Amino acid sequence: MFKSRNMHEITWKKCGAFFIVGLILALAQAPFNLSFTYAAVLPFIGLYMRDVKNAKLGFVIGWWLGFGYFALTIVWIVEPFFVAPEVTGWMAPFALAFMAGGLALFWALAFHLTVWLTIAGATRLIFLALCWTLFEFLRANILTGFPWGHLSYALIDLPIIQLTAWIGIHGLGLILLIVCFLPAILIPRFRLGVLLMGTALIILSIFGLWRSSSLILPNVEQIIVRVIQPNAAQHLKWRPDMVNAFYARQLKYTGIKVEQSPDVVIWPETALPQLLENSLLNFQEIAEVAGQNASVITGIVRKKNGKPRNSLIVIGTAGKLDAIYDKEHLVPFGEYMPLANMMNKVGLSNVVGLAGNFRPGQGSRIIQVQNLPNFLALICYEAIFPQYSNSSKNRPEWIVHITNDAWFGSFSGPYQHLVQARVRAIEQGLPLVRSANTGISAMIDPYGRVLKSLELETAGYFDHILPAALPPTLYAKIGELGWLLIYSFLMIFCIKNMFKGSKY
């Protein structure tokens, strides 16, 4: 369809090449964890984009690059459609193409804007890093937001990830892009650029090692946490002949006696099989099995004003309901259907019916109960949003994340979800305890390190003492302001050079 005679025209070969580059870039994310691909792929992108003159080509490059990246990164999105394959299986490839293509538009607009507003040269690459970061921030916040697969998450097992405690994922992403563009920025001194890129990454890693070198002590109260993982596969979870089996499994793990009994037991999202209104007898049974000194945190569905809520509850002694938190940020197309009323009016009620009919909660995320340190409650999807961990003036002492990752399959989704939860711990300097239905459940320290875990698709439990919290991080204090200050300084530099008409 496209024919070209030079690099500034659009060809299908060029589109395919950048699609493959996007796939390679995605190998940095879990479960592959090949983060070194950034040091190879990002300089190549910078070299090519430095001299592109056609803004339309910039859009096409950005879109195909993003399409390849997101197609592999969020390939797990097809998994929910195969829980009932005879009903929704046919929708899986269309859902993946639609989602990956939509997310790729953010990258396409960043690349288009860069070529449109700048001339070829080094300043363009700094501006590209700024535009890319801006549109990733928009992707994380507009249309309910979906920050899944941010470039920064691929650095989770490297010391450089500790920078998120100061500047969050967007600030780290900006620095990563600029550092990896150095070989292209310093053309024709490419080798010097590679040397500076490597040096910068080493220096940033030293900062990360310095931050995470302190010893994490147990919490003052010596709280022992027991995490339950029932491993209820999604296609079996609500089957009538299996519901009681999974409930009994959770009771069994809760009641196992050890030398040091747990102070709190955590079950995963929607762990209880009945509505809250029908579970009072279950609460008493759970409290009896847990023991008179232990609270139980669990997920359940409840109804309020006739509409379901995805909730986290705390069951205290004698089966008393001590606290309720209703999930605030629901999953679009999963827990609710966006624009459902409009779709019903145009005859798409069958499509609307494929999604849930949940309603969001509006209560406090900070749970305060007797016998437990105050904690921040996150349910499933909410752990991918940094702002929710950073939204309260009353700092909690730990984070509790309950989730049902059975929807995500067993290839990449659960691993990526765990990574994002680990980064939330780093950003806040708080320990995070994660109970996942099919895994991966984990005790995570304030540096994002996994202290104890249960592997994917494994039934079991573990006990671990809750680590102490660190002092509030810079990110916990000022949120996105830190990286926005860096962003503003670099934007002023770029605008100044652009008005001068300088390539540098």
What are the residues facing 367 on neighbouring strands? 375
CB of 481 closer than 8 Å to CB of 168: no
Average pLDDT over every residue of 456-484: 94
Q: What is the pLDDT of residue 343?
A: 47
Question: Is residue 2 assigned to a domain?
Answer: no
Q: Are residues 305 and 448 in the same domain?
A: yes
Residues 493 and 462 in one domain: no
Write out pLDDT tens, residues 120-154.
888 999 999 999 999 999 999 998 899 999 999 99
Q: 10 Å Cβ neighbour count for 189?
A: 12
pTM: 0.92
Please tell me whether residues 452 and 485 are part of one structural domain: no
334 in a domain, yes or no? no
In a domain, 333, yes or no: no
Amino acid 36: pLDDT: 94
pLDDT value at position 412? 94
Q: What pLDDT shows up at residue 90?
A: 86
Catalytic residues: 269, 327, 380
pLDDT of residue 146: 94
The mean pLDDT of 417-445, rounded to a whole number, is: 96
pLDDT of residue 417: 97
The per-residue pLDDT for 357 is 83
Which positions ≥6 away from 8 have C-beta within 8 Å? 52, 53, 54, 57
140 and 266 both lie in a single domain: no
Paired sense of beta strands 224-229 and 460-465, if any = antiparallel
- Distance from C-alpha of 22 to C-alpha of 42, rounded to nearest angstrom: 10
Does residue 437 sit in helix, strand or coil? coil
241 pLDDT more than 70: yes
Q: At residue 6, does pLDDT exceed 90?
A: no
Q: Which two tokens stand for residue 31?
A: 């479960």
Among 43-52, 213-222, 404-413, 474-483, the minimum mean pLDDT is found in 213-222
Q: Is 193 inside a domain boundary?
A: yes
Q: Is there a single domain that holds both residue 184 and residue 236?
A: no
Structure tokens at 413: 């989704």
pLDDT tens string 156-185: 999 999 999 999 999 999 999 999 999 999
Look at residue 358 and tell me if it is in a domain: no
Residue 349 lies in a domain: no
Q: Evaluate if residue 239 carries a pLDDT over 70.
A: yes
pLDDT at 348: 42
- Write the pLDDT tens digit of every residue in 305-328: 888 999 999 999 888 999 999 999
Q: What is the largest CA-CA distance in the chain?
A: 78
Q: What is the pLDDT of residue 203?
A: 96
The residue-averaged pLDDT of 252-275 equals 93
User: The CATH number of the domain where 443 resides is what?
Assistant: 3.60.110.10
Contacts of 350 (CB under 8 A, 6+ apart): none
Length of the chain: 504
Same domain (yes/no): 60, 115 = yes
Distance CA(220)–CA(483), nearest Å, equals 33
> DSSP letter string over 197-236?
HHHHHHHHHHHHHHHTTSPPPBPTT--EEEEEE----HHH
| Residue 206 in domain | yes
Looking at the fold, whether 491 and 465 belong to one and the same domain comes out as no
Alpha-carbon distance values, 243 to 226, 230, 247, 492 (Å): 22, 11, 6, 59
Going from the C-alpha of 487 to that of each of 131, 132, 255, 303, the distances in angstroms are: 10, 12, 52, 45
Q: Give the chain's domain count.
A: 2
Q: Is the peptide bond before 240 cis (omega within 30 degrees of 0)?
A: no
Predicted confidence at residue 1, as pLDDT, reads: 36
Q: How far is CA 339 from CA 326, 336, 393, in A?
A: 22, 9, 33
Q: Are residues 171 and 288 in the same domain?
A: no
Helix (H) / strand (E) element for 310: namely: strand 307-315
Greater confidence, 186 or 340? 186
192 and 256 together in one domain: no
Q: Are residues 387 and 487 in the same domain?
A: no
Pair (71, 26) in one structural domain: yes
Per mean pLDDT, which of 28-32, 255-259, 334-338 is the most reliable? 28-32
| SS3 call for 464 | strand
Domain extent, residue 18, equals 12-213+479-500
354 to each of 6, 78, 227, 337, how far by Cα in Å?
A: 48, 14, 32, 8
pLDDT for position 259:
87
Report the candidate in 376, 365, 385 with the shortest Cα–Cα distance to residue 169: 385
Question: Are 446 and 492 in a shared domain?
Answer: no
* pLDDT on residue 460: 96
In a domain, 81, yes or no: yes
Mean pLDDT for 340-357 is: 51
Identify the pLDDT of residue 284: 92
